[in-house]
Amino acid sequence: MRFLPWIFLAPALVIYSVVVVYPMLYSAYLSFFRWDGVAPKKIFVGFQNYVVLLTHNDVFWIALKNNAIWLAAALLVPTSIGLGSALVLNSRFRGSHIFRSIFYFPAVLSLAVVGLIWTWIYHPDLGLANQLLDALHFKFLERHWLSDPQIAIYPVILAATWNAVGLPMLLFLAGLQTIPSELHEAAKVEGAGQLQRFWYVTFPLLRETTLIVLAITSINALKAYDIVYAMTNGGPANRTQLLSTWMYFLTYNYHEVGLGTAIAVVLFSLPLIFAIPYIRLMTRKI
Amino acid sequence: MKSPIFHAFLTAAAISFACSVTPTLAQDNKPPVPKGNVTVSFWGIATQPWQVMIDDFDKTYPNIKIKWTKYSTDEIKQAVRVASAAGKLSDAWFNWGGSLAAPYEDGGHALELTPALITQYGVDKNIVPAALDLARHNGKLYGIPIWVRPMTIFYKKSLFDKFGIPEPKTFDDLEQACAKLKANGITPFACGGKFSWMTMRTTDFLIEHFAGPALHDKLFAMEASYSSPEVVKAFTKLKEWVDKGYFNDGFISLDPNESLPLLFQNKAAMTFQGPWIEDQNIIPAHQDPKDYIPIIAPADQKPVRVSGFQEQIQFWSKAKPDEQKAALLFASFITTPDVAKKHVSQFGSPSAVVGVFPSEDHPITTTMVKWLQSGVQLYLPTDQALPQEIVNAFFQAQDSMILGSLTPEAACAQIQKAVEDYKASH
C-alpha cells in the first residue's frame, strides 16, 4: 500500500518525464555541442557556447536587458492596474459584472492575436495610434512605434500589458472577497479613512494573493515569446529580442542549436528565482 | 574552393530557361505504382495550390492518399528542422533550395535522386534544365523543382503615367523616377522589412549593380570580401535611399503583407516582389494586374540577371519504400506537362515544367516567363546563397545600418567577420 500513491502518479510522471523532463535535460546536454540541428555529428565544445553568449553575442545582452525591462514593467503595471480595477469592481455598483467581463476580455485573447491587433494600431501610416495623435493635434508625438530601435520594446510591452491586466484583476477580486466586511466596518468605526482602511486592512490581508500574482506575473513575463514574434519578429535589427525569441531564432533560423539551447538553460534558470518561493509558499499553505 | 551554390549559378547562367525543350512524358519508362493502400504525408505551404493537384492525383491513383499538412513560410522551415533532428520527417515536403535545403541534403535526410530515379520519374524530360541546375547541390539532385521564382522591381503604371515618369531602363532612370515620385509626395518603394528578407532584395540588387555578377557570385562563394569597396558602395546607396525617404515610413518593422496596401492606395509606386503577388495579393485585392509592371531590375550589368530561386518537393530518404515511391509518383505526376498545363491557372507563378506557360489572365507571370526564355538569368537571394549563420549577421548588419547604428563600412565589416568566423569553424 506504501506504493499506491506512486502507482496512481505513474501515468502523469511518465508523460511529464517524456515531454518535459527529458527534452529539458537533452537541451542542457545539447548546449555543450556545436550542432546545426540536422547534421549527423555533434561537436563537443564544453562551455564554449556559454562563453560565446556572454562575451561575443551582443544580442544576448540586448535580450537579457529587454527581459529585465519586461519583468519590471510586468510587476509594476498590470499588477497595479489589476489591483485598482479589482478594488473598484469589488464595490458592487450597478453594472459591475459587465465591467468585470469587459476588463477581463483582453486576457481571453491569445498573445498572437493581441500582437496582430496592436501591430495594426502601431502601423506608421494606417495605424490608429498615429491617426489619433494627428486628430488630437499632437502630431509631434507621432512615432514609428515599432521601427524606432530606442523605443520599440515599450509599445510591445504596452500591448502585452493590455492582455495581462485581466488575470491579476481576477485574482485580486477573489482575494478581496475573502476579506470579512466586519473588519472594514470595525476600522470605519475606529475612524479610519478610505486610504487607511486599504493600507492597514485590505492590503495586509491580500498578502498571499499579492505574492501569487507577483509570482505568476514574473513567470509569465519571463515566458513572453509569442507577442514579440508576432509584432516585431525580434526587430528592428534584433532590438526587441527577448531571451525566448533569440533562443528560437538561433536554434531554428540560424542553425546554432548549441547557442540556442545554452540560452534555454539560462532562461530555465531565471524563472526558478520566482518559482521556488512561489512553490514553497504554496506548499506551506497546504 | 568554389561552393556548390556558386557552381549552380554558373551552370544556371550557362543555360537559359530552355523552354524550347520538347515536352515529353516519361511514357516508355513508367514510374512504379505501389500496390495496396498507401498514405503519403506531405508538408506544404498553406497558400499554395496543392489541393487541386492532390485531388487530381487521388482520382488517377485512388489507392494513394496524399495527406497535406499546411504550414506558413516560417513554420515549415521549423517543422522540417525539428522533424529531421527527431528522425520523423514527412514522406515529402515543400522546400526552397540553396542553403535552406543544404543541411537536409548534407545530413542525408533528403533522398538523392539518382540518375536512374531521374529517368524513371521523368524529371530530366519534364523539368526545365535551369530549374534543375538551381536545385542541384554538389552536382546532385535532391528534389523535383515545381516553380521558378524570379524577384524584381514592380512599378505601378497608372502612377508613373500620372507623373509622366518613363519606365526605368537603367539605374539612373530608376533613381530619377524615385526622386520625381518623392517630389510628388509618393513613396518610391513599398517595403516590409520585418523579416529582413524583403529589404535584402533591394540590397542584393544594389550589390549586383555596384559589384557586378562576377564579384556578386564570389561573395556568395565566400571567395571575396564583403568589405570590398563595391559592396560598401551598395550599402551606402541603400542608406542614401532610406534617408531620402525612398521607402515607406517605418518599413523596417512592417510585415511584407502590410506594405502592399500602400501600392494599392497609390501611396507608393514600386515594390521588390515576385510573380506570386499576382495571385496572392493583386487579384484578390481586385486590382488590375496590368497596372503592376515587372521590370528587369536595372543593374546595368552583363549578363542580365535578376534575383530568383526554385521551389521543389523533397523526399525523406528513410521513408518506407511504398510511401517513398508514392511520394515520388505524386511529384512526378504533378510535373508532367499535361497535368501542369491543366492546373496552370491555379499554379500561378512560373512553372518549372517544360512547355507550361501562364494563362492569359496572368500578365505579370507571362512577362517574367518571357524574360527567362529570352536569356535573363537568375542569382540566388542572399538568404539562400549564404549559410544561415551568415544570413543572420547579414540581416543584422543591413538593418542596423538602415537604423543608423552602423556605418555602411562597419556593416560590411560585420558581415565579413561572420564569413570569416564561419569559414574558421567549418
pLDDT digits (tens, 9 = 90+) for A173-195: 999 999 998 998 899 898 888 88
Q: Which residue in A254, A257, A259 has the most chain B C-beta atoms within 10 A of its own C-beta, making it the best mutation to test that interface?
A: A254
Residues of chain B positioned with their CB less than 8 A from the CB of A154 = none
Which sequence spans correspond to the domains of chain A?
30-285
Contact A233 B399 (CB under 8 A): no
Residue B47 has a pLDDT of 83
Residue B16 has a pLDDT of 37
Residue B5 has a pLDDT of 43
Band the pLDDT of A125: cuts 50, 70, 90. confident
Select the residue of A40, A233, A252 nearest B81 (Cβ to Cβ).
A252
Q: What is the pLDDT of residues A211-245, one digit of tens each?
A: 889 988 888 888 899 999 999 999 899 999 999 99
Residue A40 has a pLDDT of 84
What is the bridge-based pairing of β-strands B305-315 and B64-71? unpaired
Give the alpha-carbon dihedral of A101, A103, A109, A111, to 10 degrees. -160
pTM for the complete prediction?
0.83
Mean pLDDT of chain A: 90
B152 - beta bridge partners? B273
Residues of chain A positioned with their CB less than 8 A from the CB of B396 = 59, 237-238
- What mean pLDDT is predicted for residues A32-60? 93
Contacts of A26 (CB under 8 A, 6+ apart): none
All cell numbers assigned to B194: 520585418
- The CATH number, out of the four listed (1.10.3720.10, 1.10.260.40, 2.60.40.10, 3.40.50.300), of the domain defined by the range A30-285: 1.10.3720.10
**Which chain B residue's Cα is nearest to A40?**
B107
Contact B261 A126 (CB under 8 A): yes
A23 touches chain B (CB under 8 A): no
Contact A254 B388 (CB under 8 A): yes
Q: Which residue in B253, B316, B417 has the most chain A C-beta atoms within 10 A of its own C-beta, making it the best mutation to test that interface?
A: B253
Domains and CATH numbers, chain B: 4-149+307-379 (3.40.190.10), 151-305+384-425 (3.40.190.10)
**Which chain B residue's Cα is nearest to A38?**
B85
A270: left (phi over 0), alpha (psi -120 to 50) or beta: alpha
Contacts of B343 (CB under 8 A, 6+ apart): B49, B52, B53, B56, B334
All cell numbers assigned to A53: 553568449
Contact B253 A146 (CB under 8 A): yes
Cα B400 from Cα B413, distance rounded (Å): 13
Residues of chain A positioned with their CB less than 8 A from the CB of B425 = 34
Report whether B330 contacts B91 (CB < 8 A): no
A56 touches chain B (CB under 8 A): no
Cα B133 from Cα A21, distance rounded (Å): 45
Residue by residue, pLDDT tens for chain B (426 residues) are: 344 444 444 334 333 333 333 333 444 567 889 989 999 999 999 988 899 999 999 999 999 999 999 998 888 998 998 899 888 999 999 999 999 999 999 999 999 999 999 999 999 999 988 788 889 998 999 999 999 999 999 999 999 999 999 999 999 999 999 999 999 999 999 999 999 999 999 999 999 999 999 999 999 999 999 999 999 999 999 999 999 999 999 999 999 988 899 999 999 999 999 998 998 899 999 999 999 999 999 999 999 999 999 999 999 999 999 999 999 999 999 999 999 988 877 766 688 998 888 888 889 999 998 888 788 889 999 999 999 889 999 999 999 999 999 999 999 999 999 999 999 988
Measured CA to CA in angstroms, residue B233 lies from A31, B227, B238, B393 at distances of 39, 10, 9, 19
Cα A59 from Cα A114, distance rounded (Å): 25
A106 touches chain B (CB under 8 A): no
Residues of chain B positioned with their CB less than 8 A from the CB of A260 = none
Cα A102 from Cα B374, distance rounded (Å): 62
Residues of chain B positioned with their CB less than 8 A from the CB of A149 = 403, 405
**Which chain B residue's Cα is nearest to A59?**
B396
Select the residue of B77, B78, B253 nearest A236 (Cβ to Cβ).
B253
Reduce the DSSP state of residue B48 to 3 states and report it: coil
Report whether B187 contacts B181 (CB < 8 A): yes
Q: What angle do CA B361, B364, B369 make, to 5 degrees?
A: 105
- Where does residue A231 rank: exposed (0-12), middle (13-18), buried (19+ CB within 10 A)? buried
Q: Which residue in A27, A148, A255 has the most chain B C-beta atoms within 10 A of its own C-beta, making it the best mutation to test that interface?
A: A255
CB pairs under 8 A between A and B: 97
Band the pLDDT of A285: cuts 50, 70, 90. low
Q: What is the pLDDT of residues A237-284, one digit of tens each?
A: 999 999 999 999 999 888 899 999 999 999 988 877 767 776 777 666
Strand spans (E) along B283-414: 292-295, 305-315, 377-379
What are the residues of chain B with a beta carbon less than 8 Å away from any beta carbon of chain A? 74, 77-78, 81-82, 84-85, 103-104, 106-109, 193-196, 248-255, 258, 261-262, 267, 387-389, 391-392, 396, 399-400, 402-403, 405, 425
Tell me how close the Cα of A129 comes to any Cα of chain B, in angstroms: 14
Cα B265 from Cα B263, distance rounded (Å): 5
